[in-house]
Amino acid sequence: MVRETGQGLALASLSLRLISSGIPIASLFIARLIIDDVVAIIAGKGADVRQIWILLACEAALAIASDLISRGVGLLDSLLGDKFTNVISLRMMEHAGELDLTSFEDPVFYDKMDRARRQTTGRLGMLASLAGMGQQFITLLTLSAGIVWFSPWFLPLLTLALVPVFLGETRFAMLSYSLLYRWTPERRQLDYLRLLGASNASAKEVKIFGLATHLTTRARELFERFYQENRSLAFRRAATGSLLNLLPTLGYYSAYAYILYRTTTGTLSVGDLTFLTAAFARSRGLMEQIFSTFSSVAEQALFLEDLFDFFRTKPSIASPANPIPAPRPIRSGYQFQDVSFAYPGSPRLVIDHMSFRIDAGERVALIGENGAGKTTLVKLLARLYDPTGGQILLDGIDLREYDVDDLRREIGVIFQDYMRYDMTAADNIGLGRVEVLHDQSRILDAAVKARADVIIEKLPENYNQMLGRRFDGGVELSAGQWQKIALARAYMRDAQVLVLDEPTASLDARAEFEVFQQFTSLTRAKMAVLISHRFSTVRMADRILVLENGQILESGTHEQLLSVDGRYAELFGLQAAGYR
């Protein structure tokens, strides 16, 4: 990750830290010489005054260098932090795009992704902490050499006094991580409540139903529960840390008393006293920082594991080692052979041993009540899911043998819950085929096919108009207008297979008639799958499949199914009765 983020910046930061690590011992040594020379002059021992000024200039130069290096390190770390956040965020987006659709329908996966997403900001601090700890360790080694030269037992005393502090901090770091891990579902609920309380999509219902107080109350309850648990842990951590910190304090002042004793007996000079007390105080501070940093790094490493855990999630739907390109053109079509499908962790078969064909150039309609398996069939067709039993063949070859990306290029799908992109009108259509996203002629052609051109030409900035209210200058469309934009995106795909899931649910009767007249003309030489509850729509299909409980109950043309007087005829009669 560091290599991707900016290896040059990282090396420059490490180099500056290495230089900086030698400055403290040099400054203390110069201060010792200055003090001893001053004492010698006062005592009339004939020390060179010019040497004092030279030493003072050297110490000032070291102080300036230390400040400049510190600012340089801060700048480099800031730049690395920005690049790290960007690189990790982009890698997360790329990886999420490779994962199975079933992953995004699993709450456990969302918990994992939420924990990973929270690590995209600020986790470069762990690398900066590690680099800083290395700098502190080198500085400590140089100071230790000076301390040990005077008295070898000082350093072991301080180290032993700090070990309990380190162990205590490490334990509470693990408890803190455990708390946040356990609270991941509730934190996602909080994020969702924040979104509901302040989003364009929910604003109308929040106001109409007076939900603001209710949502705020639920959020407050979650906040309060988390605060209580976190406060309890924070108090325990502070109390334990305060007690354990008495040990290094006692160790420091024991050593300080010994240094003062040796100075008063004449064993050490005043310069030695200054050097040792400053070096010992600095060493104590460095040891505390090193142990604290190590504990913090250990805590951050636990959190960073969530990010790595997300990246370890692999898709099960992928191209084989030697994939076959999608057939162009499709010759015989799709064949479902005893296909079954159940969602992960569920014993219920959504698709139950289903067998049927969709021939090349055929328009097939799927009809049935909600939950019959219509949309699931479409997802299997597009290989968003793989069947848990049976096979799906395209031109006689199992879908799993094809290059999955190439296969999907030949399928255009607009689902009932289609996306409304807060982008320009041109982008909303062009996203149907990103390879030619900026091909204006294709975008215009797709808009005309979907009858969306009339809508777009009335917008203030036409195809450059920002849609939606998320960004400044955006224009909101009606549900029917958005649906025509979505249809244009499907036509932009220019795929061999076109799948429309409730494509005219938001259109009025006249618009629906015009759309399907156009659809019939445009799909004459293509395969098409329609999902609709409107019989005026499905009767245009070459064949209609009636689904119930994940099985095909009836199959045939509109006229054939009416003559059978079965489930289709019953549903048709119920809908027709509503127009009488």
Nearest in space to 480 (alpha carbons), one of 507, 454, 456: 507
**Which of 1-5, 36-40, 532-536 is predicted least confidently?**
1-5
**Which of 3-17, 98-112, 422-436, 466-480 is predicted least confidently?**
3-17
**Which of 66-75, 315-324, 360-369, 386-395 is predicted least confidently?**
66-75
Taking residue 422's Cβ as centre, other Cβ atoms within 10 Å add up to 15
User: Half-sphere exposure of 485 toward its Cβ, with a 13 Å CA cutoff?
Assistant: 30
The answer to whether residues 305 and 424 belong to one domain is no
Confidence label for 402 from pLDDT (cuts 50, 70 and 90): very high
Q: Give the span between the Cα atoms of 102 and 384, in whole angstroms.
A: 8
According to DSSP, the β-strands at 543-548 and 363-367 are parallel
Of 464, 494, 524, which residue constitutes the final position of a domain?
Answer: 494
Q: DSSP letters of 90-110?
A: HHHHHHHHHS-GGGGG-HHHH
Q: Which residue did the predictor score with more confidence, 144 or 217?
A: 217
Q: Domains in the chain: how many in total?
A: 2
pLDDT over 60 at 1, yes or no: no
Nearest in space to 180 (alpha carbons), one of 305, 319, 68: 305
Q: Which residue did the predictor score with more confidence, 266 or 1?
A: 266
Would residue 425 count as lying in a domain? yes
Q: What are phi and psi of 501, to 5 degrees?
A: -100, 110
Q: List CB contacts of 556: < 8 A, sequence separation 6 or more.
A: 543, 544, 564
Q: Give the span between the Cα atoms of 401 and 393, in whole angstroms.
A: 9
Q: Which residue did the predictor score with more confidence, 414 or 144?
A: 414
According to DSSP, the β-strands at 497-501 and 527-531 are parallel
* Segment 331-350 mean pLDDT: 90
Question: 233-247 burial by CB neighbour count: b if 16+ within 10 A, else e?
Answer: eeeebeebeeebbeb
pLDDT digits (tens, 9 = 90+) for 150-161: 667 766 776 776
Confidence label for 25 from pLDDT (cuts 50, 70 and 90): confident
DSSP single-letter state for residue 527: E
Would residue 290 count as lying in a domain? yes
Would residue 318 count as lying in a domain? no
pLDDT over 90 at 31, yes or no: no
Query: Chain centroid to CA 239: how far?
Result: 36
pTM: 0.69
pLDDT over 70 at 507, yes or no: no
The answer to whether residues 170 and 286 belong to one domain is yes
The answer to whether residues 61 and 206 belong to one domain is yes
Of 293, 312, 331, which residue constitutes the final position of a domain?
Answer: 312
* Cis-peptide, bond into residue 329, ω within 30° of zero: yes
The answer to whether residues 306 and 185 belong to one domain is yes
- pLDDT for 207 equals 65
Q: Which residue did the predictor score with more confidence, 107 or 531?
A: 531
pLDDT over 60 at 124, yes or no: no
The answer to whether residues 257 and 134 belong to one domain is yes
Q: Which residue did the predictor score with more confidence, 121 or 369?
A: 369
pLDDT digits (tens, 9 = 90+) for 238-259: 888 778 877 777 777 777 787 7
Q: What are phi and psi of 314, to 5 degrees?
A: -115, 145
Q: Give the span between the Cα atoms of 147 and 256, in whole angstroms.
A: 12
pLDDT over 80 at 400, yes or no: yes
The answer to whether residues 145 and 262 belong to one domain is yes
* Segment 508-526 mean pLDDT: 73
Confidence label for 267 from pLDDT (cuts 50, 70 and 90): confident
Would residue 362 count as lying in a domain? no
Would residue 365 count as lying in a domain? no
Here the CATH number for the domain that contains residue 115 is: 1.20.1560.10
- List 527's β-bridge partners, or say none: 497
The answer to whether residues 152 and 294 belong to one domain is yes
Would residue 457 count as lying in a domain? yes
Full domain range(s) for residue 282: 2-312
Of 476, 494, 512, which residue constitutes the final position of a domain?
Answer: 494
Q: What is the mean pLDDT of the chain?
A: 81
Would residue 328 count as lying in a domain? no
Q: Give the span between the Cα atoms of 236 and 50, in whole angstroms.
A: 56
Would residue 182 count as lying in a domain? yes
Nearest in space to 416 (alpha carbons), one of 462, 375, 453, 461: 375
The answer to whether residues 280 and 161 belong to one domain is yes
